Structure 1
Amino acid sequence: MDAGESQFTWLIGWLVFLPACYGALTYLYCRTAITGAPLKASDILHILPLAICYLLNYDILFSGDKALSFVTVPDTTLFKHTLTKIIFYGQVGVYLALLITMVSRYQAKAKQTLSSYSPDIFKWIWSLVAFMAGIWSLKLLFYFINSAPIVNLLADCLLVLMVYFVAVVQWRNPSLFHIRQLTTQLERPKGSGAKASADGVLDPETRSSILQLVQDEVKTQALYRNSELTLATLAEQIGVSAHQLSETLNQAGGKNFNQFINEYRVAEVCEQLDRKSERKLIDLAMDAGFSSKSSFNAIFKKFRGQTPSQYRCQ
């Protein structure tokens, strides 16, 4: 259709470069969804790829004919169009790398410092990352290898499906991607931890004493029943730094904080089941400190080699 036949063709120039911000939007979405932290003023810098594409192609933004020509005839020798392509597709690689680094960092931090860490949350996040990588792989295939329109159409359809799927899933479960208390753990001052590291490694006798103290406190006061217990709050209650507690659990106890606390939780549930408790498994799990049914089942099976239901049946 001729560009002049529609009053909306002037929008083509603005919409054609819009995917240049998809990488940034996915990155920011995952960051805010995981931590619950609000966007910062500095996040406006993430629209830079889109702004550059607009500036390089300002002449087609208000011309439907030029915009259609740019879309339908992608091969060009103009330097600004080549630079636009580099920015348009390059931002995807940059933000995929940032996204993978960020999610890996958050996952490692959650494992080390949160007793309520659930691997299911990160399964969703990694699936989202893989889906995004697949969509842009199809777009790269369309523009650089196979120019069949069906490839580009498939990529666009998958992108729309991804947006709707994430919206519906999070609408039904707003906390699906959110990890409680992770924000405070990431923003916690590093002064005490850095000092402990600079002072040297704890000697075996000190580690043994701290481990014994922690075990006594956690067991006698049933601190593990607090589903929001973190490495930092436990260290503060014991009277040591988070760095010292982490080192003690890893070096003297042979496990990280998450494993250490969940071992007590699984033991309590097993004790109740051994006594032939008739209570529901989810009630036993919540009383023991687990934050969700999925994390309870996953952790229980990891420790006991079978599901809670199988353990009860035997």
Structure 2
Amino acid sequence: MFVNGKAWTASDAFIAFELAGTFFSIAIGLGFFFQSHLRKNSLPALLFCLVALPQLSVSMELLGFYERFPGTGLLLPPFYIFLGPLTYAYFHQILGQEFLWKKSHLYHILPFGLAYAVLVPVYGQPHDFSHIHVWLDIVLVLIMLYVLVFLFLTLLDLWVLLKTSILPFPGIYRLTMLYVFVAIVDVGFLIWYQLEKSEVGMVLSFGLLTVLSVFIFWGMQLYPDYLEIMRKEAARGRYAKSRLTGIDSADIINRIRELMDMEHLYADEDLSLGRMAESLDIHPHQLSEILNNHLSLSFNNFINRHRITAACRLLTEEPNRPILSILGAVGFNSKSSFHSEFLKITGTTPTAYRKKAISPDV
């Protein structure tokens, strides 16, 4: 490929790719800064701006900037330290109502200061580029390991969140898990690159970082209210699990069937979720959750199905009994609601059902 009459090498294409990723990440970060609710958006804003630094750094290295100004290569890497803690903090902001900066967060400045304490003396030594690279590589590997610890902590917390969720997992959970997994793989590639100085490692690590930025941006378009959706899903999962904790669902279902089949509890026209839960010695929310999760039915639909089943039996067994009497016997207090539910469940009217059941050949 030629640009302005000059051949464009693979290295040139990679540099352009990384520079584009740098500006892309910074633009997204600044977009968060200029949105309303700055406190809520400060973490993702800082994260995207920090993600731009490794991409900028490798571009400057490939362009030969660090060879001409060796000490400048030491300026950006210590800032990578904050990628891990900020990712971890951002995940907890997702689960909480609001992220508040605390004095304890300042402890993360210690490894940042330590990194500079190691690199600054090297900066003051005679310009031996290879000597600087050795120290820089050591510090970068330690920084990436520090970041990796926080990414694994984030993955562990995400796993705990998944365990408290009701299957199937929401799509936004799967997307978040993929974000964290790709970030861990990317940091692994970065460590490999620093240790082996492999061109493949460089392309995979920094290229994947750029792809991750674009991928996260795409996810934000897919879920514009990402924070709010994650919070609601997390709260819903925790609530559902907490309501069913210590409850033998199978036993409750068996008791429900006994109430329906043997005691004909559905025939009580005043039957409510609360009254039925009281008969089972559980909370109404627990009963609702069991019906939804194990039978895929709401309370009203569950009761109406039993009432219509009983009505069908009476229509057949007592052909001369008035329909009005039957609907009252199975728990309906309204002719219109009975006919509506009967038609919805059986696909026909009570009269047509009785006629067909009594004279199937007609």
- For normalisation by structure 1, the TM-score amounts to 0.50
Gap change, CA 1:39 and 1:14, over 3 Å in 2:
farther
Alignment match, 1:58: 117
Gap change, CA 1:72 and 1:262, over 3 Å in 2:
farther
Gap change, CA 1:90 and 1:205, over 3 Å in 2:
closer
For structure 2, the residue ranges without an aligned partner over 5 or more in a row are: 1-63, 306-342, 348-362
* Partner SS for 1:39: coil
Deviations 1:265-285 (A, max 9, x none): 9999xx97996xxxxxxxxxx
Amino acid at match of 2:90: Y
Q: CA deviation at 1:95?
A: 1.9
Gap change, CA 1:60 and 1:242, over 3 Å in 2:
farther
In the aligned structure 1, how far is the partner of 2:103 from the partner of 2:297? 37
Alignment match, 1:282: none
Deviations 1:66-106 (A, max 9, x none): 79968974435x9xx95x45641322332232122111111
* Partner SS for 1:41: coil
Deviations 1:236-281 (A, max 9, x none): 9x984599769x94xxx8xxx645547899999xx97996xxxxxx
In the aligned structure 1, how far is the partner of 2:73 from the partner of 2:293? 51
Q: CA deviation at 1:148?
A: 2.2
Deviations 1:9-67 (A, max 9, x none): 8764441122222222333333434x36321334963x745541333423746996779
* Partner SS for 2:155: helix
Amino acid at match of 1:128: Y
User: Would you say 1:138 and 2:199 are equivalent positions?
Assistant: no
Percent identity reads 15
Amino acid at match of 2:170: P
Q: CA deviation at 1:166?
A: 0.8
Gap change, CA 1:143 and 1:202, over 3 Å in 2:
closer
Gap change, CA 1:123 and 1:151, over 3 Å in 2:
same
* Partner SS for 1:20: helix
Deviations 1:113-134 (A, max 9, x none): xxxx653222212211221122
In the aligned structure 2, how far is the partner of 1:150 from the partner of 1:67? 31
In the aligned structure 2, how far is the partner of 1:203 from the partner of 1:128? 35
Gap change, CA 1:132 and 1:187, over 3 Å in 2:
same
Alignment match, 1:147: 197
Contact 2:123 2:132 in 1 (8 A): no
Contact 2:88 2:153 in 1 (8 A): yes
In the aligned structure 2, how far is the partner of 1:262 from the partner of 1:70? 70
User: Would you say 1:17 and 2:78 are equivalent positions?
Assistant: yes
User: Would you say 1:102 and 2:157 are equivalent positions?
Assistant: yes
Q: CA deviation at 1:138?
A: 1.0
* Partner SS for 1:111: coil
Alignment match, 1:38: 98
Amino acid at match of 1:22: L
Gap change, CA 1:41 and 1:209, over 3 Å in 2:
farther
Amino acid at match of 1:155: S
Residues 136-285 of structure 1: pairs in structure 2 closer than 5 A? 136-144=187-195, 146-176=196-226, 178-179=229-230, 181-182=232-233, 184=235, 209=255, 240=282, 249=290, 258-261=293-296
RMSD: 5.5
Gap change, CA 1:66 and 1:148, over 3 Å in 2:
farther
* Partner SS for 1:57: helix
Gap change, CA 1:56 and 1:19, over 3 Å in 2:
closer
In the aligned structure 1, how far is the partner of 2:192 from the partner of 2:86? 22
For structure 1, the residue ranges without an aligned partner over 5 or more in a row are: 224-234, 276-314
Q: CA deviation at 1:185?
A: 5.5
In the aligned structure 1, how far is the partner of 2:83 from the partner of 2:190? 13
Aligned length: 231
Alignment match, 1:231: none
In the aligned structure 1, how far is the partner of 2:221 from the partner of 2:230? 16
Amino acid at match of 1:169: G
